[in-house]
Structure 1
Amino acid sequence: MYKTNTKWMVSAIYLATLVTAIESTIVVTATRSIVSDLGSANLTSLIFATYLFSSALATPIFGRLADNYGKKRIFQIGLLLFLLGTILCGFSISSWMLFGSRVIQGIGAGGIMPMTFALIGELFDISTRGKIMGLNNSAWGIASLIAPLIGGLILKQLTWHWIFFINVPIVLIVLLIVQISYKEKRPQTISQKGTFHQYTYLIAGLLLLLSGIQLFSTYFLLGTVILIAGLFVLLFFYRQEKKEHDPILPISTMTIYDFSLLTICVFLINGALIGFQVYLPMWIQTELHLSPTSAGLALLPSSLFFILGSYYSGKLLNRFGQKLLLQLIVGGALLGFLSLSVLPGNTGYMVLLIFSSLLGFFIGTGVTISVITAQAYATQQNLSTVSGFITLCRTLGQSFMVTFLGVINQRIFLLKHLQLAGYHSVYLTISIIFILLLFLVSHRPTVNPHEQKNEVS
């Protein structure tokens, strides 16, 4: 019988992750050209918001559907939607056409990202999964290095439309590999597929939550009200899901304390990564008065050590165990952020590069470990659903933290009397959050996820 070619599938998974990672960063280089060409003042934020919203909304739904209809089919649908949205973005002649195309592209990305996690969980055992997951996560580090360079080169030689078109051949290659190399066992279809009102409550809650997060920095009161409304809708949805025979979220897994803690780690560590990447270049430009190029290159060590930490996370997990390794990761990152919060503004460029390297390693290891240990609580029946939920936590963490830290940076309401710069207050805020996270991780019971998973089931 024909079997899945895991080597080719690793290539497909990596390319799929790489293309979504590049898409998340390369558009930044073309924003000014797009706004100038299409002539919409509000286009800048909407270019990113529409993609982010649609991706976040689609992620848990695609994860759930994959457990019913099969990962291969849903992965292919996600790739096709991403391909369609990408082509339409490239041919966009108006802002409204671009918005709609970005929505389609984001929905496709919402089908791709959880499937990459789920496929790794299916194709590799826990001892190998860390290495493969680390290799896959390195795509984000590589994308942060090459996307601005590729984007700048394209804009210099061609038009902004080609920022999108370069993704087309990569997606076609992934589709071909998946079709030929992946042989999936027929999923054990559950009697129900989730009702319309379940999906409606989930989408409405997430939409309100994300809208509140986006409005939080500019319209504080309105954003807070909408955010709270979203939380209430999601709480109501969660209570209803607990009564459903066929929930569309992994409710039984979410009730496990250890799994919930790991998803909090995913949320906060990914959020801290965004805060670091945004405010370190700002520090270098405002205090050291160096060029934007030098500021961007300061993230290079972070990206390289992110890749290194991700790749060796599996070996570190086997050596230190889940609890101790998480303590070391959170503690190491805490020391890094705490140091950045008190270092003088004129700290040397090389010193900042050292901190960039250390934080890249700790965060890269933390991102990978949080995902693979949380995924260990999934069963074969809900692996895609759990992977979708973890991916959603990752997206929400980045979205919430970049907005929340932006408010801290602008208002500096906590540290105004100390007359510290905005980035100092940002890193101090992250440090306080990591102190709380270290406390939670340190009081985490050492439990075998497979044993606890059996108790729940």
Structure 2
Amino acid sequence: MKKQTNTTLVTIAIFVATFMTAIEGTIVSTAMPTIVGSLEGLSLMNWVVSIYLLTNAMMTPVYGKLADRVGRKPIFIFGVILFIIGSSLCGVAQNMEQLIIFRAIQGIGAGAIMPIAVTIIADIYPFEKRAKVLGLNGSVWGIAGIIGPLLGGMIIQRLSWHWIFFINVPVGIVTMIIMYLFLVEKKEVKKEPIDYLGSLTLMIALLSLMFGFQKLGESIALTPVLVGSFMVAIISFSLFVKIERKAVDPIIPLNLFHNQEFVKFNIVASLVSGFLISVMTYIPMWLQGVHGFDALKSGFAMTPMSITWVLGSFISSQLIMKYSAKKILTLSVFIVGIGSMCLALSPISTPFFIFLLIAALLGIGFGITITTTTVTVQNIVPQEQLGVATSFNTLARTLGQTIMVSVYGIVLNVTIANSLVTDKNKGVNSDMMDKLLNPLTAKELSPEKIPILKNILYSGIHGIFLVAGGVVIFALTIIFIKTKNKQNNYSEN
């Protein structure tokens, strides 16, 4: 009897793997002050997070192509093994430099887990059930966002920060075993040469591009490092295109971009993800810096979004069989647009429950949008390109967030800098702004300075949400661009 994939167990393994990678961000953020204090590396703190994202994004398209070429299972298992090795090394790091290097290894492994997991879902579930499963998988991110800070705090208090990395080891091993035993794939060996040169130039291009935007978010000064990063990115991308045109089996087939539907839906996913990062980053900052709430309560403001995101995904699964992607995305991005308008127009004294309502509304919009764009992108490419298409969709969302984080950082920094030099705000400085963002140190500030500082911070955050609202409007505009390509399972009516 021919062995079949155990869909239930494989799905559970996917959810566990997604949770393992999703919780990594929130749990590390919670432990960061303790890690910095232990390893004495405040100046390198941001790179602990940034290097993980950089290497993750850099490897995503490569893994996508390899998954199409040699199968999902070996690439997924390889990613989990690297993630486990990176996690173990992070747990024994003796200084910040070591931790950054080991986080890079962890990120290289994580780059395979998320996109390949979504590709496996597309393989084992028919089109009509896929959106529901993707919705459940997406809900894992929301659960991780809630549990991460609590689990991180508990581990640090009862054990040590090293264990926030060590706990990935048994979870990863169990996930790997389940996937190895119960996912059955057809073994097809391709004779075409692997596109090593295309892979290398693409990785260099992505790494330098994201590094450049990382530096740009820190400072808008045209430093040699900043200019050099973008120059390397441009040259590498140019070489990549030339190489791919001649490659027998290109790492990213350029004919994907001849499909206007594919391009359009990835742009929409990228823009909406760019708005999403503003919500996740700056609503907690608003609540902590302006309202003086602690980190736990500020983070709780995002809980309704995690819950309604799942609802949005299930709504998408119902709509996706009845209406065109254009109609569904028009509805969902319009919902996101209403939420963005509410944030842009909210006054400085906006009550906490209003943030809960806005987050709940945005969750529905995000759930429908991200699920619909993912399923659509998977559905409009040939089966043999499913892995690379799914990975590119993940990459597009990551790039959208990376670029917009830099833009938001520039808006915030410029607004605050301009406000600090005005006569009205004389007597306040950037050190006071840093203290304001921490509820514990905010108590050290002079009472007469606090209202001035809060107004400055609010003006910066308000500027960010105005820009973010423009991003949503742009996404809505993209949806209405007419394309020549037709989708496999959608009508254009």
Q: Which range, TM-score by smaller chain? A: over 0.9
- Distance change (3 Å), C-alpha of 1:284 and 1:40: closer
**Cα deviation, residue 112, structure 1:** 1.0
Partner of 1:206: 206
Question: What does 1:39-438 align with in structure 2 at a 5 Å threshold?
Answer: 39-194=40-195, 196-220=196-220, 221-222=222-223, 223=226, 226-227=229-230, 229-412=232-415, 421-438=459-476
Q: What fraction of aligned residue pairs are identical, expressed as a percent?
A: 34
Is residue 9 of structure 1 aligned with residue 10 of structure 2? yes
1:229 deviates by 4.2
Unpaired segments ≥5 residues, structure 1:
453-457
Instruction: Tell me the SS of whatever aligns to 2:218.
Output: coil
Unmatched tracts of structure 2, length 5 or more: 423-454
Distance 1:257 1:447, change over 3 A: closer
Q: Which amino acid aligns with 1:439?
A: T
**Deviation for aligned residue 1:412:** 3.2
What amino acid is the match of 1:33? T
Distance 1:367 1:216, change over 3 A: same
Partner Cα distance (1:146, 1:169) in 2: 18
Once the two structures are overlaid, the 10-residue window that deviates more, 197-206 or 219-228, is: 219-228
Letter in 2 for 1:301: P
1:34-90 deviation per Cα after TM superposition (whole angstroms, max 9, x unaligned):
111111233311111221111111111111112221111111111111111111111
CA 1:370–1:209 in 2, change beyond 3 Å: closer, same or farther? same
Q: Which stretch of the first structure deviates more once superposed, 77-86 or 94-103?
A: 94-103
Rg: which structure is higher?
A: 2
Instruction: Please say if residues 67 and 189 of structure 1, whose CA atoms lie closer than 8 Å, have aligned partners that are also in contact.
Output: no
Deviation at 1:188, TM superposition (A): 5.0
Conserved in 1, the CA contact under 8 Å of 2:92 and 2:162?
yes
- Cα-to-partner distance string for 1:261-320 (whole Å, 9 max, x where unaligned): 111122111221111011111222333333333211111111111222123321122243
**One-letter code aligned to 2:76:** F
Distance 1:326 1:45 in 2: 35
CA RMSD in angstroms, aligned pairs only: 2.2
**Does the Cα contact within 8 Å between 1:68 and 1:190 map onto a contact in 2?**
no
Shift of 1:23: 0.9
- Letter aligned with residue 159 of structure 1: S
Deviation at 1:364, TM superposition (A): 2.0
Distance 1:250 1:386 in 2: 10
Which letter maps to 2:310?
I
Match of 2:443 in 1: none
Q: Shift in Å at residue 324 of structure 1?
A: 0.6
Q: Which amino acid aligns with 1:204?
A: I
Native 8 Å contact 2:10 2:178 kept in 1: yes
String of CA shifts for 1:363-413, please: whole Å, max 9, x gaps: 122111111111112222121111221121122122221221111122139
Q: SS state of the match for residue 289, structure 1?
A: coil
- CA distance in 1 between counterparts of 2:32 and 2:316 reads 35
AA matched with 1:347: T
d(CA) in 2 for partners of 1:323 and 1:446? 13
1: distance between equivalents of 2:191 and 2:389?
A: 16
8 Å contact 2:118–2:390 — kept in the other structure? yes
Distance 1:238 1:205 in 2: 11
Question: 1:237, CA displacement in angstroms?
Answer: 1.5
Q: Check whether the contact 2:18–2:140 (CA below 8 A) recurs between aligned residues.
A: yes
What secondary structure, in the 3-state scheme, does the structure 2 residue paired with 1:443 have?
A: coil
Q: Distance in 1 between matches of 2:103 and 2:337?
A: 36
What SS does structure 2 have at the residue aligned with 1:382?
helix
Q: Is the 8 A contact 1:134 1:312 kept in 2?
A: no
Which TM-score applies when normalising by structure 2? 0.87
Task: Give the conservation status (yes or no) of the 8 Å contact 1:322–1:373.
Answer: yes
Contact 1:64 1:248 in 2 (8 A): yes
For residue 455 of structure 1, what is the aligned residue in structure 2? none
Could you tell me whether the CA contact under 8 Å between 2:274 and 2:471 is conserved in 1? no
Which range is displaced more, 225-234 or 49-58?
225-234
Q: Is the 8 Å Cα contact of residues 253 and 377 (structure 1) preserved in structure 2?
A: no
- Give CA-to-partner distance per residue, 1:103-151, whole Å, 9 cap, x none: 1111110111121111011111211111111111111111101000100
Taking the aligned partners of 1:235 and 1:376, their CA distance within structure 2 comes to 29
- For residues 358 and 238 of structure 2, the distance between their equivalents in structure 1, rounded to whole angstroms, comes to 39
